[in-house]
Chains A and B, each alone.
With several copies, the nearest count.
Chain A
């Protein structure tokens, strides 16, 4: 089993979620985060005080999936979250040893 973790632009959440449910994913967890990356350097002025906005609001999505679904999941996210403009975000994939559904005690892919 794997966890696919994606950092995306906030307003893309609904499209990403729809793309994922379309490929059969039934659960995910979302966190509000701040991202620092290439999409930086933009300066703002408030009442004459200039500063560089370096942290931008992003959403982190975590999806536990069976290893077989990883590729489709990554593709679905890439397609749905892409605007083509800088700051679209990243996807990282890593392995998990175990998954448990608290309610039932089910494990592994049954738990997802």
Chain B
């Protein structure tokens, strides 16, 4: 059982369909014969769902909230919170069905609507050894955090209404198809792209969308002149820490079981995060003469991102190397390259999640170890790069189109005075004292 992995999620999609049918059949024939859910696997997936929700609220909300200026902290945490609420409903209404059911003739590209509003799912429906209701819940937490990550790129300058509209469309048009391609029975999974817990689906996807958004929305008022230093990194440390802890649910939970694969995925997650944090810290210490708290926590997140696609395919030594490499490369991307190119990705959604996701996806091909996971035997750097490039292109184009539509409908930015006075008081009527 411990060879079950995300690579085989294509199978899981069908499995859940099968489970539902089988369950229904059983229920008709002999009601008391409930499916053989494993209580231990179920316990771990219940816990994992809670952990991944905690990544977004309060984890990401605080990670981002601490890095903006004080006048924008509430609007920043509000974004994560509102996204959490909106995506939950969209996922239940249509997202889950479109990502994880069979799309018929279009199945290589998108699932169907047979489970819209979760119709057809019942108490006997199973995904692998757990109830399908739980699998829906677990996947919902992924559909929450991915859009929430994007918001870091345009922090401190987007209208709340525009943000909500953009995210709703983006979930259905970008996240759901890409999730289907990799995990739901679509073509990237079939082509052998390995993505254990969402390096491609979650991080590259969100990172690229963030970059495109930062470019289209434009820089913050006063960028380069005004002090935009993080107003309270204690909040960001709490956020980064809860992201780290919650990431155990994200990565080890992606084993969809409570077994040795989940265990090694957790250990790999820890090792990569720690290594990347130290790598970024020492790189900065050497270059900028001081090790900053912003640096070490950014490094930790970079390592967590990079190990996400790899967590259930590599061994701990592989995770260690992935951590070190991603820490240094993301430092260069977020601090040096961004500065050279001059775009304003406020909180480095691209520099950390996009770049970290790309590094991780490629290195998964390098370090995949069949002793950890039989699926690792099929790993190929070429296939990984193919998956990365395809996702980048699709996410970039689709995100741009959505943003121009939202701009035409409601406009993207508040007025200059509102932005300078702060989004908290102007968009939400509240401030932190």
Contacts and interface: CB of A to CB of B under 8 A. Distances in A.
Q: In the complex they form, do A and B come into direct contact, defined as C-beta atoms under 8 angstroms apart?
A: yes
A50 interface: yes
A84 interface: no
B230 A46 contact: yes
A52 interface: yes
Contact of B335 (A10, A47, A51): A47
Interface string A2-46: 000000001100100000000000000000000000000000111
Interface string B329-341: 0000011111100
Nearest to B220: A49
B339 A45 contact: yes
Nearest to A44: B229
Contacts of B335: 45, 47-48
A50 B229 CA distance: 10
A53 interface: yes
A107 interface: no
B105 interface: no
Given A11-B417, A11-B420, A47 B348 contact: yes
Interface in A48-87: 48-55
Given A48-B334, A48-B335, A50-B339, A10 B228 contact: no
Contact of B334 (A14, A47, A50): A47
A47 B348 CA distance: 8
Contact-residue bracket for chain A: 10 to 19
Contact of A49 (B339, B417, B421, B429): B339
A29 B346 CA distance: 29
B104 interface: no
A14 B228 CA distance: 13
| Closest 4 pairs (CB-CB, A-B) | A48-B339, A48-B338, A11-B421, A11-B420
Interface of A: 10-11, 14, 44-55
9 contacts: A14-B222, A46-B228, A46-B229, A47-B334, A47-B348, A51-B223, A51-B224, A51-B227, A51-B229
Given A48-B335, A49-B228, 11 more contacts: A14-B222, A46-B228, A47-B298, A47-B334, A48-B337, A48-B338, A48-B351, A49-B338, A49-B344, A50-B224, A52-B225
